[in-house]
């Protein structure tokens, strides 16, 4: 998949699960459970032990899976992630060197940004999406809605505070996608290897996003 295809697929699905667990084995299980449940996109955060190896294994085994690296904070980690097979890079903040590097490698990049100045800088640098993180601290859906007024063309991904109760509000406020962590990738479900539990959560989130988009459509 090329950069354009990956971006289109992320936007189509509208959900980017963030896998932040305690072992490589848990991460492999979580990503495969989310994917088989209907969301073939996952961000493996680099806080996971041996995260690069996890990304490499997933990329090698599941060619239709869009597995990315999350919490990317420096160029060396970005390079290792892409070399391992990461199909996108996500960071908690805005580092223009990482954005530039990802674009040179033809990899979608989702930098974190919070203020209007950071969002403007990220978009001007060529970012495919801008991850508003942690948007809950500034009002959640209302903040996304406020940002869409000056930035109608910027593809915002809402992250931080997204759960089953708020996800519809984020979508209707203008987020093209949402980043969801433990409310989708339940730590308890992962610990107990409850695949069906995660499948149910993916089904619920996909349904809520679909309904919210239908309501928001002109």
Confidence band, pLDDT 50/70/90 cuts, at residue 217: confident
Nearest Cα residue to 140 out of 103, 96, 185, 170: 170
The residues assigned a catalytic role are 43, 131
| Residues 15-38, mean pLDDT to the nearest whole number | 97
pLDDT at 35 over 90: yes
Query: pLDDT category, 218, cuts 50, 70, 90?
Result: confident
* Domains of the chain, start order: 3-216 (3.20.20.70)
* Its pTM surpasses 0.85: yes
What are the tens digits of pLDDT across the range 55-92? 999 999 998 999 999 999 999 999 999 999 999 999 99
What is the percentage of the chain residues whose pLDDT exceeds 70? 100
The C-alpha atoms of residue 70 and residue 90 are separated, in whole angstroms, by 5
To the nearest 10 degrees (0 to 180), the angle between helices 75-84 and 96-104 is 30
Quick one: pLDDT at residue 135? 93
């Amino acid at each position: 998949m090329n950069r354009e295809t990956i971006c289109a697929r992320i936007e189509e699905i509208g959900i980017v699960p963030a896998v932040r667990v305690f072992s490589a084995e848990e991460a492999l299980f979580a990503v495969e459970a989310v994917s088989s449940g209907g969301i073939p996109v996952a961000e493996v955060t680099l806080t996971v032990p041996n995260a690069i190896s996890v990304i490499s294994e997933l990329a090698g085994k599941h060619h239709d899976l869009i597995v990315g690296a999350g919490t990317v904070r420096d160029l060396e980690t970005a390079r290792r992630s892409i070399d391992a097979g990461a199909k996108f890079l996500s960071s908690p903040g805005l580092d223009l060197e990482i954005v530039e590097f990802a674009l040179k490698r033809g990899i979608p990049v989702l930098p974190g940004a919070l203020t209007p100045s950071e969002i403007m800088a990220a978009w001007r640098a060529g970012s495919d999406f801008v991850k508003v993180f942690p948007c809950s601290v500034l009002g959640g859906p209302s903040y996304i809605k406020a940002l869409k007024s000056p930035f109608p063309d910027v593809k915002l991904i809402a992250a931080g505070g997204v759960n089953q109760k708020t996800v519809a509000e984020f979508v209707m406020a203008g987020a093209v996608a949402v980043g969801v962590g433990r409310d989708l990738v339940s730590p308890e479900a992962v610990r107990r290897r409850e695949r069906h539990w995660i499948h149910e959560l993916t089904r619920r989130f996909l349904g809520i996003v679909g309904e919210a988009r239908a309501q928001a459509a002109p």
